[in-house]
Amino acid sequence: MRSRAFRVFSALLLAACGGLAGAADFTGPDSCKGCHPEAYDAWMKSKHARATETLAEGQKKDARCLSCHAPDQAEQTLAAVTCETCHGGGQYYSPSYVMKDPELARLVGLVDPSEKQCRTCHDASSPSLRPFDFKEALKAIDHWSAERARKQQTRADAAPSTPAPATAKK
Ligand code: HEC
Ligand code: HEC
Ligand code: HEC
Ligand code: HEC
């Protein structure tokens, strides 16, 4: 196994060569699906996944609508509000060895979406009748509870029923 220092170094080097985090390319929601199937399914059922379909034909090319309904269309050719609209472009953080290291993933572009970020689109100019309630809105887009449940299950399954002898560990 390569050391963490080596992994951090290679990921940062890649990101630096690519123009540093923030300028990372988007990999598209299908690229997250394989490792995050629950999150993907929940997102697919959400309005974010259909934010471009909602628009009438002419509006699908109207930059005034796309700024919220498909903000990554122009630069990354991705329709709707996708994983990376909220979590940042995945080019550097989505390799498995980076994803398993939460600190490193954030160093190379993984974003923890904030209320402020939601409000860049859910603001006074969006057509909602009710003011944006962050807590309620979070519940409505929950795609992490199922992810966390699976993770816990995986850990429970992996845990030996009797403590393994010390020699069995690497
Ligand atoms: C090769 C598999 C793989 C791919 C592809 C992948 N991830 Fe991950 N991701 C993981 C693993 C493994 C974790 C760590 C889970 C854990 O905590 O055990 C993770 C964690 C995360 C987390 C939680 C980070 C934290 O520390 O709280 C987010 C958010 C995330 N991934 C988003 C994405 C997005 C968005 C994409 C697509 C752009 C993506 N991932 C692609 C495997 C992957
Ligand atoms: C890039 C712009 C953008 C960002 C950022 C964004 N949203 Fe949205 N959101 C939209 C659009 C556009 C729709 C409407 C999609 C449609 O129906 O066409 C929407 C719809 C929703 C809905 C469904 C509303 C309904 O009437 O059922 C919820 C809930 C929601 N967003 C929550 C959030 C939360 C929580 C965040 C932040 C974590 C967030 N959104 C960030 C653009 C955004
Ligand atoms: C500032 C961001 C923003 C802009 C710009 C924007 N929208 Fe939206 N739009 C939203 C959000 C957020 C929602 C979801 C509101 C909610 O229900 O909470 C939405 C919802 C909608 C819906 C209702 C979808 C549904 O499921 O009921 C339609 C239709 C719509 N927008 C059309 C448009 C059109 C057409 C334009 C361009 C003229 C446009 N929007 C520009 C943010 C925006
Ligand atoms: C509208 C913004 C938005 C979109 C779109 C979105 N996410 Fe998230 N995601 C969030 C927020 C906010 C959280 C953190 C919620 C919390 O911790 O309360 C989160 C949490 C997560 C987590 C963390 C789970 C854990 O173990 O803690 C993963 C993994 C994840 N998202 C993957 C994805 C994937 C994959 C997609 C696309 C299929 C996606 N997200 C689309 C906003 C978004």
Can you give the pLDDT at residue 98?
95
Residue 136 pLDDT greater than 90, yes or no: yes
Q: Which protein residue has the closest C-alpha to ligand 4 atom 7?
A: 83
Domain chopping of the chain, boundaries: 1-24+89-111, 27-87+114-149
* Ligand 3 atom, smallest distance to 132 CA: 18
Phi/psi at 6 (5° precision): -65, -40
With a cut of 80, say whether residue 132 has pLDDT above it: yes
Mean pLDDT of the chain: 88
The predicted-structure confidence for 35-79, as pLDDT tens digits, reads as follows 999 999 999 999 999 999 999 999 999 999 999 999 999 999 999
What integer is the mean pLDDT of 155-166? Answer: 72
The residue-averaged pLDDT of 109-119 equals: 95
Does ligand 4 have an atom closer than 6 angstroms to the CB of 105?
Answer: no
CB 73 within 8 A of CB 84: no
What's the pLDDT score for residue 122? 93
Q: Quick one: which of 33, 23, 35, 42 has its CA closest to 98?
A: 35
The better pLDDT of the pair 168, 45 is held by 45
- Residue 24 contacts residue 109 (beta carbons within 8 Å): yes
The pTM of this model reads: 0.92
Pocket-testing residue among 46, 126, 141, ligand 3, by greatest number of atoms within 8 A of Cβ: 126
Are the C-beta atoms of 118 and 93 separated by less than 8 Å?
no
Best residue among 54, 122, 143 to mutate for probing ligand 2's pocket (most ligand atoms within 8 Å of CB) is 122
The alpha carbon of 19 and the centre of ligand 4 are apart by a number of angstroms equal to 25
Q: How far is CA 20 from CA 58, 92, 135, in A?
A: 36, 9, 32
Position 89 pLDDT exceeds 90: yes
How far does the centroid of ligand 4 lie from the alpha carbon of residue 3, in Å? 28
Which pLDDT score, from 0 to 100, does residue 116 have? 95
- The confidence band for 12, taking pLDDT boundaries of 50, 70 and 90, is confident
Q: Helix 145-158 and helix 37-45: axis angle, to 10°?
A: 160
Q: Could you give the percent of the chain with pLDDT greater than 90?
A: 66
Q: Which residues line ligand 1 (CB under 6 A)?
A: 27, 31-32, 34-36, 83-84, 87, 90, 94, 96, 99-100, 102, 151
